[in-house]
Amino acid sequence: MAEAKRLEHSGGIAEIVDNLVAGEGTGSSDYVGSGHLVSGPGSRANLADASHYLCLLHGNYPGMIDVAMTSNRIDAAHDWLSEANESFSHEREFLAHLVAGVGAMPSMSGQAQSEVAVLGQRHALEMLARSERRGCALGAVVALTLDWRTVRAILDIAAERLDIAPMRSNLPNLQETATLLMAVGREESIERAIDFGARQLLAQHRGLWQLLGAREAARRA
């Protein structure tokens, strides 16, 4: 799996978030790095599983970024959040195309419990996006757009297997994202909140990949 591009501006909270995504994001998942997800005889079922559960986590409307837009209390982040919101609406559309293309979710024991767990994660992300702590929702959204670059690489592989033309991703520019973080993170309280929000988002993604890895191992058993 190709490593996602890193923020082009280092220092302060931009560097902290960049390092968090690199060290605790999707690319650091043992399952994602194992090769089982995208290669081998079970890869089609694995990619179908990933598409369905990513859609369950992030394919709903209003999504996490929509909610963060309404709760945002940092004026300087408004334009960036608007851009992120618009771009992620296209990501939801792409997810919907994939789910339709892969067909039914691979059925296995514990299916209901798996779905409940991911719905719980989705609720946790919604609560994070509603946080009144200045910077918390922004940190979560920034981490989502950064980590999604690796997620999108996985989804593009799924699309290629299904002969679905991948939609162009228009996630916010990395340099603009770094510049925003450096500007709003000058207040220590906001910097801490951004850090917290980013960590919480990545923890939910990490939990999702652990769940998907466990499901893949159960199918191989």
Give the pLDDT confidence score for residue 8 in this predicted structure: 53
CA 69, CA 78: separation in Å to the nearest integer? 7
Q: Which of 18, 132, 131, 116 is nearest to 64 (CA)?
A: 131
Asked whether the beta carbons of 51 and 158 are under 8 A apart, the reply is: yes
Which amino acid would we find at residue 135?
G
The CATH number of the domain where 126 resides is what? Answer: 1.20.910
H or E element in which residue 120 lies: helix 111-129
Within a domain: 5: no
Q: Residue 17: pLDDT above 60?
A: yes
CA 121, CA 98: separation in Å to the nearest integer? 21
Give the pLDDT confidence score for residue 185 in this predicted structure: 87
Least confident of 161-170, 194-203, 209-218: 161-170
Q: Residue 214: pLDDT above 90?
A: yes
For the chain, what is the domain count?
Answer: 1
Within a domain: 95: yes
* pLDDT one-digit tens code per residue, 66-114: 999 999 999 999 999 999 999 999 999 999 999 999 887 767 777 889 9
Within a domain: 107: yes
Within a domain: 2: no
Note the pTM of the prediction, 2 decimals: 0.93
Give the pLDDT confidence score for residue 120 in this predicted structure: 97
- Give one DSSP letter per residue of 174-219, joined into a string: HHHHHHHHHHHTTSHHHHHHHHHHHHHHHHHHHHHHHHHHHHHHHH
Within a domain: 93: yes
Hey, what are 50's tokens?
Answer: 């990933």
Q: Which domain holds residue 146?
A: 12-25+37-220
Within a domain: 6: no
